[in-house]
Amino acid sequence: MKTIIWYQNDLRVDDHRPLEEALRHDDPIEGHYIIPQEELIENRFGHTPLGPRRLQFLNESLDDLAGSLAALGIPLFVHVGHPLDMFEPTDRLLFQRSIGYNERKREREVMTAWQGECQAFDGFMLYPRDEIPFEKLPFLFTEFRKAVENDARPDRLIERSPAKELRAVDFPIAYEQPRYDARTAFPFRGGERAGWERLAAYLAGPVRTYKETRNGFGVDDSSKLSAYLANGSLSPRRVLHELEQHERSYGANESTYWLYFELLWREFFQWVALEQGKRLFRAQGIRSKQKTWRVDDDVIGRWQAGETGVDFVDAFMRELNATGWMSNRGRQIVASYFAKELGQDWRIGASYFESMLIDYDVASNTGNWAYQAGVGNDSRDRRFNVTRQQDTYDPTGAFRNSWL
């Protein structure tokens, strides 16, 4: 018998409970990462979930993970398909649970069919369930935040440093290397070491002014940790641990708190996704709010291409297409415009983001899109005034000029 670590969105060795459990046994250990076939073909909205930039970042992250596992004597294998077609169900299986509906369904299929020892661990969220003081999650983030931020504590951090060497995996998908665009606000590689380096660099200075700069469009205007959190190269516990270390050394301020505040937004959307399951992806959203959505292919095509004629929207969409990145402010603006001004089915926009964003995360992406469409966790059903937004956040037109 051997021990299998089934990797999903937990591409690290630090703070990794399945790995630590595996190392407690004397059996041979293998790491496996499996890409679902459906992520490589067009979905019902006409988008391939794993677009080229996401594939590149995934490949880089797996190369980094393979190096760290090799230092522990553990090989890493990468496949396309379903876990039950790859594993011997009498071995020991260890894995970290995912959040998305389809991912949880796949995990249930595996656990139902498994004949040997099988252990599933939590680790994608900051807090364990018994630290969330609600039987039913509150609808609004503010209520969640106030109850959690003062009393909840994460599980103990399991510290393990990544190795310094990469090891190229046998990546089973051929893809065209995306062209690098020097204008990108995300000039980073994938992988755990890259995530640690970015976290250290951000906490070394830029975090001190995060509250003032977070709506900007430059490299250090925001943390740029979301991609590493999304594929699990960093655990949220590691980020909080390092942030608290920084505050003990240099003092807390509004900006260091605001980075924690954003971790709580991420946390909130993860719990919403778990609680709502398949309902999160309905056209009427979790509010069951009846709206008439349109699907106009030419309108959607112009929005995707950054050719709507609305400069601020077009600049953000061209940045996304060229780099796989867009600021949080930009995401809110283009999502609101797509759903509220163009009246298009918000799920199509969310699907396009899934294909394009390096930092795609099912709960955050879907939760934010539903929020902007007025069918998610927003009681006010707000609408962004694009002209006012560009006058506030790009008054000189510098961002627009760089992309148009």
Contact (Cβ atoms closer than 8 angstroms) between residue 31 and residue 232? no
- Does the annotation place 127 within a ligand binding site? no
* Residue 359 among known ligand-binding residues: yes
Amino acid at 396: T
Residue 79 burial (10 A CB sphere; 0-12, 13-18, 19+): middle
Element housing 348 (H / E): helix 346-356
User: Is 210 marked as a binding-site residue?
Assistant: yes
393 is in an annotated binding site: no
For the chain, counts of helices (H) and of strands (E): 17, 5
SS3 321: helix
Task: Give Cα separations from 369 to 72, 186, 193, 316, 335 (angstroms).
Answer: 41, 22, 30, 16, 6
Q: What is the DSSP string of 143-189?
A: HHHHHHTTT--PPPP---PPPS-----------PPPPP-TT-S----
CA torsion sign for 102, 356, 234, 210 is negative
Phi, psi of 147 (to 5 degrees): -80, -25
Q: Residues for the chain: how many in total?
A: 404
Name the token pair of 173.
Answer: 């998908």
Helices within 71-140 (DSSP H only): 83-86, 101-113
Check the annotation: does 260 bind a ligand. Answer: no
Q: Is 381 annotated as a binding residue?
A: no
| 249 in a known ligand binding site | no
Question: Are 80 and 58 in contact, with CB atoms under 8 Å apart?
Answer: no
391-403 burial code (b ≥16 CB/10 A, e <16): eebbeeeebbeeb
Residue 20 · residue 28 · CB < 8 Å: no
Residues tagged in the binding site annotation for FAD: 210, 222-226, 359-361
